[in-house]
Structure 1
Amino acid sequence: MLHEKTIDHLLTIHEIYHEPDVYEYARGSEILSKYPDAKLIEVKSHNQIPELFGFAGAVENWLWNKKNVLILGTKHSLSARPNTRSSHWVAPSQSNGCTMSCSYCYVPRRKGYANPITIFVNIERIMGYLERHAGRQGKKLIHDQIDPEYWVYEIGENGDCSADAAICDNVKDLVHLFRRLPNAKLTFATKFVNRELLDYNPQHKTRIRFSLMPHQMSKLVDVRTTPISDRIAVMNEFRDAGYEVNVSFAPVIYYDGWLDDWRTLLEELNDTLDEPTKRQLATEIIFLTHNQQLHDVNMDWHPKAEEVLWRPDIQQVKYSQTGQRNVRYKNNLKRELVNELVNLCTELIPYCAIRYAF
Structure 2
Amino acid sequence: MARPRDLLDVTTIYHEPAVPDFSRGREILDRFPGAERIVVPSHWNIPSLHGNAGSVEDWVRIKRSTLVLGVKKGLAMRPNGRSAHFIAPSTSNGCAMACAYCYVPRRKGFANPISVFVNVEAIAAAIVRHAARQGPLGTPDTIDPALWVYDLGENGDLSVDAMVSDTVRDLVALFRDIPNAKASFATKAVNRDLLAYDPQGKTRIRFSLMPERIARIVDVRTAPIPERIAAIDDFVAAGYEVHLNFSPVILYEGWEADWCALFDAVDGAIGPAARAQLKAEIILLTHNADLHAVNLGWHPKAEDLLWRPDIQEAKVSEGGGANLRYRTGWKGKWLARFKALLAERMPYCTVRYAF
* TM-score for both structures, normalised by structure 1: 0.97
Deviations 1:107-140 (A, max 9, x none): 0122220210000000000001000010000111
Counterpart residue number, 2:190: 193
Distance, in Å, in 1 between the alignment partners of 2:122 and 2:329 is 47
Counterpart residue number, 2:145: 148
Aligned AA (1:51): S
Query: Residue 5 of structure 1: CA displacement?
Result: 4.3
Corresponding residue to 1:301 among 298, 301, 323: 298
Q: Tell me if 1:113 matches 2:93.
A: no
Alignment RMSD (CA, Å)? 1.1
Aligned length: 355
Query: Which residues in structure 2 correspond to 1:147-296 (within 5 Å)?
Result: 147-296=144-293
Distance, in Å, in 2 between the alignment partners of 1:161 and 1:314 is 33
Aligned AA (2:73): H
Matched residues, percent identical?
54
Q: Classify the secondary structure of the residue corresponding to 1:331.
A: coil
* Contact 1:51/1:58, CA 8 A, preserved across alignment: no
Counterpart residue number, 2:9: 12
Counterpart residue number, 1:87: 84
Distance, in Å, in 1 between the alignment partners of 2:154 and 2:71 is 17
The gaps in structure 2 that reach 5 residues or longer are: none
Query: Which residues in structure 2 correspond to 1:122-133 (within 5 Å)?
Result: 122-133=119-130
Query: Residue 210 of structure 1: CA displacement?
Result: 0.2
Query: Which residues in structure 2 correspond to 1:22-33 (within 5 Å)?
Result: 22-33=19-30
Distance, in Å, in 2 between the alignment partners of 1:138 and 1:56 is 45
Query: Which residues in structure 2 correspond to 1:26-65 (within 5 Å)?
Result: 26-55=23-52, 57-65=54-62
* TM-score for both structures, normalised by structure 2: 0.98
Query: Residue 331 of structure 1: CA displacement?
Result: 1.3
Deviations 1:140-183 (A, max 9, x none): 12111100110000001000000000110111101000000000
Counterpart residue number, 2:74: 77
Aligned AA (1:179): R
Distance, in Å, in 1 between the alignment partners of 2:310 and 2:53 is 31
Change (3 A) 1:56 1:209: closer
Q: Classify the secondary structure of the residue corresponding to 1:76.
A: coil
Aligned AA (1:31): I
Distance, in Å, in 2 between the alignment partners of 1:175 and 1:322 is 29
* Contact 1:62/1:301, CA 8 A, preserved across alignment: no
Aligned AA (1:251): P
The gaps in structure 1 that reach 5 residues or longer are: none
Query: Residue 53 of structure 1: CA displacement?
Result: 1.2
Query: Residue 322 of structure 1: CA displacement?
Result: 4.0
Aligned AA (1:187): S
Distance, in Å, in 1 between the alignment partners of 2:109 and 2:94 is 10
Counterpart residue number, 1:348: 345
Counterpart residue number, 1:312: 309
* Contact 2:160/2:191, CA 8 A, preserved across alignment: yes
Distance, in Å, in 1 between the alignment partners of 2:81 and 2:217 is 31
Query: Residue 57 of structure 1: CA displacement?
Result: 4.7
Aligned AA (1:120): F
Counterpart residue number, 2:332: 335
Deviations 1:301-357 (A, max 9, x none): 111101110111111000124432200011122122101110001100010010122
